[in-house]
Structure 1
Amino acid sequence: MKMLLTQINGLFSRIYEKEQLSIEDSARLLAQAAIGEGKIYIKGFKEMEAIPLEAINGAEPMNSANLLTNVANLTNADRAIIISRFSNDSEAVKLAKELVQQKVPFTAISGNSSNDEMDLTQLADVHINTSILKPMLPTETGERTCFPSSMAALFIYHCIKLTFDEIIEEY
């Protein structure tokens, strides 16, 4: 557990250091909907469904947040967040392409699996890298275990929300 704690602390510190500007950009993008006539729509894939649950049903829900179920009903006044384990997740990329086609600005949170395909890093207005691409802890057999992608995404979500709340409060 001590190794895990050390790794998680390091992960959160790296996210803060490397993604701070993207987190601020994301909060500003989302605040445009909350201050204007739009709403914020959130969709998580697989284990990342934890983030929309936190944003909508958590102890401190995000202002204007809704579960993204139908892109056809969105307008360019709305904003979205897509969260997936990897930036090349086929379902997340499909949704991102629909948002681009609908002209809905959005943030994506995922591990940057950087490949040559059109992925979330290229489609999103703002992409925030979870920095989780493989398990974190070595085992005694030389393999690796512990893939805390949803923890990283929740940390990023809370960073975005803190900044978002500050923007809304100032407005």
Structure 2
Amino acid sequence: MLKMFSTQLAGLLGRIHDKQEDNLEDAARLLAQAAAGEGRIFIYGTREMEAVALEATLGEEPLPSAVNWNGEETAEFTAADRALIVTRFSRDPDAIKAAKLLQKKGIPFAGISSAREEADGDTLENLADVHVGLLLKKALLPDESGGRFGFPAPIAGLFAYYGIKFIIDEILAEYEE
């Protein structure tokens, strides 16, 4: 079972890399504006996707200027700040609430999520300045009753985060030269 899961997971991560490469770069450029200047990068991960915010702030290699944010109103926002919202699906009401708050405050932000249905109306990909799709529509493995299991949203989210982080690190290294 693990072999099948790892094969499917490798395929998913490859698709994210191939199909979201431009969005990863655009998200990194947007967020690097805060890290290169006086701003901070507020990161909000809903539910299990908080793993991304925790990795960015408490991991072995933290993202410069990153702050773990709870998605709520804060007096700490400045015009130099940027944000990243990470959620399993783009219609997550907590993510949409945070996205609308950022828009109201004039804080540019990137989003990371999967779209489960048509992307119209209030979705993270429609509200974000830049959106990275996780391309995860259903769990990866079939079960014996016709269902599916093994939905690796945090793994896919962390993969996208690392893609963004590596590009930010490159941008900041060039900026310091």
Match in the other structure for 1:76: 79
* Regions of 4+ moved over 3 Å: 69-72
Aligned length: 171
How far off is 1:75 after superposition? 1.9
The match for 1:155 is: 159
Task: Report which stretch shifted further, 108-117 or 127-136.
Answer: 108-117
Partner Cα separation in structure 1 for residue 68 and residue 62 of structure 2 = 12
Q: TM-score, normalised by structure 2?
A: 0.93
Which stretch shifts more, 113-122 or 34-43? 113-122
Residue 169 of structure 1 is aligned with which of 155, 169, 173?
Answer: 173
1:13 to partner: Cα distance? 0.4
**C-alpha distance in 1, partners of 2:60/2:165?**
13
After superposition, give the CA deviation of every residue in 1:1-41 in whole Å (9 maximum; x if it has no partner). 11111101100000000000000011111110011111111
Which one-letter code corresponds to 1:130 in the other structure? L
Q: Give the 5 Å matches for 1:17-32.
A: 17-32=18-33
Q: Does 1:45 align with 2:46?
A: yes
**Which residue number corresponds to residue 101 of structure 2?**
98
Residues 119, 125 of structure 2: 8 Å contact kept: no
Specify the SS of the correspondent of 1:73.
Answer: coil
User: What is the aligned partner in structure 2 of residue 64 from structure 1?
Assistant: 65
Gaps of 5+ in 2: none
Partner-residue secondary structure (3-state), 1:41: strand
For structure 1, the 5+ residue unaligned runs are none
Cα distance change, pair 154–120 in 1 and its aligned pair in 2 (3 A): same
Query: Once the two structures are aligned, what percentage of the paired residues are identical?
Result: 49
Match of 1:86 in 2: 89
